[in-house]
Structure 1
Amino acid sequence: LKASFTTMDPFYLALSNFRKRKFEKSASICTELLEKNPYDQAVWTLKMQALTAQVMVDDIEAEEEGIADVFLDSETIAQAARPGTSLRTSSATAAPGLRPRGSTGRPVSGMVRPASQRAHATSLEQALRTARTAKSARAATSQVARTIRLGTASMMTQPDGPFIQVSRLNIIKYAAIEGVAKPLFLYIFYHENDVKNALDLAVEATKTAHFKDWWWKVALGKCYHRLGLTRDAEQQFKSALKQTPSVDAYLRLASLYTKLDQPLNILELCTAGLQLFPNEVMLTTEIARVLEGLNNIPASVKYYRDVLQEDATNVEAIACIATNYFYCDQPEVALCFYRRLLQMGLYNAELFNNLGLCCYYAQHYDMVVSCFERALSLAMEEAAAEVWYNICQVAIGIGDMVVAMQSLRLCLSIDSNHAAAYNNLGVLLHRKGQTQEALGYFQAAQSLGPFLFEPFYNHSLITKEMGDFQTSYSVIQKGLKAYPNHAPSENILNSLEKYFQNL
């Protein structure tokens, strides 16, 4: 057996390793073969594919707008969109009493997705303050700049420099070679991140194919989208769908409409796609995400259930349905879904944190402490702050105010921008009689989380009890902007208005 492997054809061995996803080994064998014969086109193409596969990511769901993408965009989006037609204004109209908001002001979703960790900033100051990633409070600068840095890193891993000098390639020559053009495009686009040359190659290949190859139209759309030419990309994706419908083109066009803030177009597009590709999981998931972004939670959950009928192990669908059950006061049902995720092999701090909360509210008290201990042992950075915040909720529920205050202080030591923790700490200090300190914490919560109504309500209530009616009046008006239908806030405002009228 050993002798047979030593006599195996090297190219076949490289191809076998590529199919086994041993890309580095496949590329090294191809390098040895190219040293013997630099003009072997098959080996050259295989090495391109192996190098591309090492760094290639699913860029359909990796869309993350940076500050430059938001404020230097040539596309103008309506600032006063009609209700139910914009993803950017939907989070502001969601009732905070139904589902809490995260650190960015967006309603909590079942699963962290690209762009779900950032608020839609309307000013540069707000954009700089907004945390754009799950692990860093630094605002993302630019999608294009980040991909260029990725390309540089992939190039530096090769001791002899880049495999292909893209600037010296004869684009027209290679665009005419059918078996080489597509792997070469993927190599330039994903490995080198040279969008300009990739676009030139796609243009020449499209001409060679007499504009009849849908794959190259999608490739053109990807390049235009990366360069920020959204309308040109939209035209290419539509042309590709008209010629040969594909799930990839539907998803990329939906991503484009998400950037343009056109959720109704996404729903129409994905519904049309489901007629051609019935029960397609990715298209159904996209509809569910958009409906969740528009705060149509019941319809979103319906589509997530359809996803589970086709793919019973879809983590996003299970997590979102579990979150919906939890906030609909059915923690015991949510617990079953989170246990399912645990049985599937998911093992992280967020899951154990949710299990601990579900166990507490479902009155499985014997499991609460062990779940939170496991969550703390696995938690890193931002997740640790959320775990301590939830431990505080449990401590308040059992009446242990000392543990509650210690948990909040630990939460703030990890994440000093946690607005809800400042608010809760202010409430506990007020109960201890430290009113002035409590007011300071409420003001800190208001500046860090203007989307929260609780700090404004608490601040207004305390200042009203202290006799500072003018401050109470101005603060409660800000609170009603965050939550217009909050009945206790309206009662305070009405009582203050009656008082001022009687003066």
Structure 2
Amino acid sequence: MTILIPQFDGLFKALRLFRNNQIEACKDECTNLLNKNPLDMAAWALKLSCLTDTVYVDELENEELGIAETFLDQNVIAPNARPGTSFQRPITTGKAMNPIMRPTSTAGRPLSGVSRPMTSLRSGTMEQAVRTSRTARTARAVSSNSARQLRLATASMASNPEGPFIMLQRLNIDKYGADPMVNRQLFEYVFYHEGDMKTAHQIATIATKAANYDDWYWKNQLGKCYMRLGLFLEAEKQFLSSFKNHRLPETYSYLAKAWWAMGAFSRSRHGGASNHCATRALCTLITYLFQQLGEVAESNECYKKILTIQATNIEAIACIATNCFYDDKPEIALCYYRRIVQMGVNNAELMMNIGLCCFACQQFDFALSSIQRAHSMASEEIAGEIWYNTGHLMLAIGDTRQASRCFRLALAVDSEHGEAMVNLGILQQMEGKLDQARSLYHSAISKSPHLFEPHFNLALLCTQIGETNNLHGVVVNLLTPERAIARSFPTLCKYLSIIVVESHIIPCHEKLQ
């Protein structure tokens, strides 16, 4: 007996393809349906969903800063915020992670288990801002949102030689915006695919009026449009109004993002944690806030809560493993990293972390093979970090010559690597090459101002060669509020007291009369 396999056709086939995530095939089927009947609204709406799905970007993960947000931000009250009151400056609270025990990123914050937007480069600098596209349709400075939408729309139009699917200039916004059968698909297409915030806001406004202001979905979409336009107060009003209709974790997340952009960190932190504590997305955002505030222990507890909700969350596993490694628990961290490998992740960063954990656990054979594999898989962007970690391993086994070579290779790949400059300067100072060591310390201070190690080592070098005047300036810079951890060093306090006493004894040089 033969079993006949049903053959789908028409709109049902397109819906089946869309459900199976065969977006391109679904789009082609919708195109065929529209060629037969251009007035088929179901096929038209389904094709809009297909075009939107190819360029969809989660708004909650969109945290990059472009040139406009960095240098033309009109929401900033004080350009030079006090220490500990802004994410643009290093953390100075006593409960922050000690940078001696745990290194910091180029943004001046403790390293997390995964790379996220706004953590790869130092915030507020040109080298981060110019990473976005420099193409814009208006005279306004390029922001990360406009650049991303232009790139996505251009890429999608390049695949369609016939041009855009909808001519927004000729579209009857009042008609389609009030139609509940197609207005959601149309809004998402305009918002994500075309990046036209003016038209998207117009559609959301008409749809909100058509729903008698009782639909939480359209209030959230209005808030998203206002956030894209930089009107955070208006976005806050829309999200708060959405709570009157329905309370969702998504709304709490968007409201927290708006408060975060306005600087209300405490409100964004405690907004909806008590109402939706078992939601993975909201717990993830809470961990981001804890990490930005320097509360690593609280963020680790939130990641454990995420694993109780979703046991296969790679980000939570990686961050917990990183915290275990820096808490002197390399065996536990190694178990977490091996779990990530079993889940199918295979990259240079993971292999390097496994190698470091194996080295800390005295499993030298596994450490060597993992590090070699990391070098073979490393891309140009992370090759500097791989060589830097390899240099630390060479120092641990006492091979200073190989360590010096590793640090030089790290600087050859990444000339902005301040940590490699500091370690190479220490090795040069140990060899008696004081001028080269001083040059490396000064370069590290200019490249990585959040580090305190180059200031401390430069102060020791000035003491060694007897440059008391330069020593005073170095120690004063080291004891600034941004580097509060350095105040716990009794050696620095002793140097500062000696310098102050000598400054009262030795008079300044005056011109001869």
Task: Give the TM-score taking structure 2 as reference length.
Answer: 0.90
Aligned: 1:102 with 2:105: yes
- 1:177, distance to aligned residue in structure 2 (A): 1.2
| 2:90/2:108 contact within 8 Å kept | no
The aligned residue for residue 257 of structure 1 is: 259
- Further displaced range: 355-364 or 63-72: 63-72
The aligned residue for residue 501 of structure 1 is: 504
The aligned residue for residue 223 of structure 2 is: 221
The aligned residue for residue 270 of structure 1 is: 272
Deviations 1:243-280, CA, capped at 9 Å, x for gaps: 11112111111222222232211122132xx42x3411
- Further displaced range: 399-408 or 357-366: 357-366
Match 1:183 to one of 182, 185, 192 = 185
- Further displaced range: 188-197 or 107-116: 107-116
Aligned: 1:36 with 2:39: no
The aligned residue for residue 128 of structure 1 is: 126
| 1:119/1:130 contact within 8 Å kept | yes
SS, match of residue 382 in structure 1: coil
Deviations 1:172-192, CA, capped at 9 Å, x for gaps: 101121111111101111111
* Alignment CA distance shift 1:130-1:193 (3 Å): closer
The aligned residue for residue 358 of structure 1 is: 357
* Alignment CA distance shift 1:264-1:102 (3 Å): same
| 2:66/2:128 contact within 8 Å kept | no
More helix by share: 1
| 2:63/2:118 contact within 8 Å kept | yes
- 1:143, distance to aligned residue in structure 2 (A): 2.5
CA distance in 1 between counterparts of 2:80 and 2:471 reads: 30
Aligned: 1:371 with 2:370: yes
The aligned residue for residue 111 of structure 1 is: 114
CA distance in 1 between counterparts of 2:206 and 2:417 reads: 52
Letter in 2 for 1:347: N
Q: Give matches, 1:271-350, under 5 Å.
A: 271=273, 274-275=274-275, 277-350=276-349
CA distance in 1 between counterparts of 2:439 and 2:468 reads: 18
CA distance in 2 between counterparts of 1:472 and 1:179 reads: 72
* Alignment CA distance shift 1:364-1:132 (3 Å): farther
| 1:117/1:132 contact within 8 Å kept | no
- 1:92, distance to aligned residue in structure 2 (A): 5.0
| 2:187/2:200 contact within 8 Å kept | yes
SS, match of residue 179 in structure 1: coil
Q: Give matches, 1:227-238, under 5 Å.
A: 227-238=229-240
| 1:24/1:54 contact within 8 Å kept | no
* Alignment CA distance shift 1:425-1:90 (3 Å): closer
- 1:77, distance to aligned residue in structure 2 (A): 3.8
CA distance in 2 between counterparts of 1:264 and 1:374 reads: 44
Aligned: 1:23 with 2:23: yes
CA distance in 2 between counterparts of 1:460 and 1:454 reads: 10
Task: Give the TM-score taking structure 1 as reference length.
Answer: 0.92
CA distance in 2 between counterparts of 1:4 and 1:97 reads: 66
* Alignment CA distance shift 1:133-1:258 (3 Å): farther
The aligned residue for residue 124 of structure 1 is: none
- Further displaced range: 415-424 or 471-480: 471-480
Could you list the runs of 5+ residues in structure 1 that have no partner in the other structure? Answer: 122-126
CA distance in 1 between counterparts of 2:478 and 2:350 reads: 32
CA distance in 1 between counterparts of 2:495 and 2:366 reads: 41
- Aligned pairs, number: 490
CA distance in 2 between counterparts of 1:494 and 1:349 reads: 47
CA distance in 2 between counterparts of 1:424 and 1:90 reads: 22
- 1:81, distance to aligned residue in structure 2 (A): 6.5
CA distance in 1 between counterparts of 2:457 and 2:84 reads: 31
CA distance in 2 between counterparts of 1:31 and 1:2 reads: 31
SS, match of residue 490 in structure 1: helix
SS, match of residue 91 in structure 1: coil
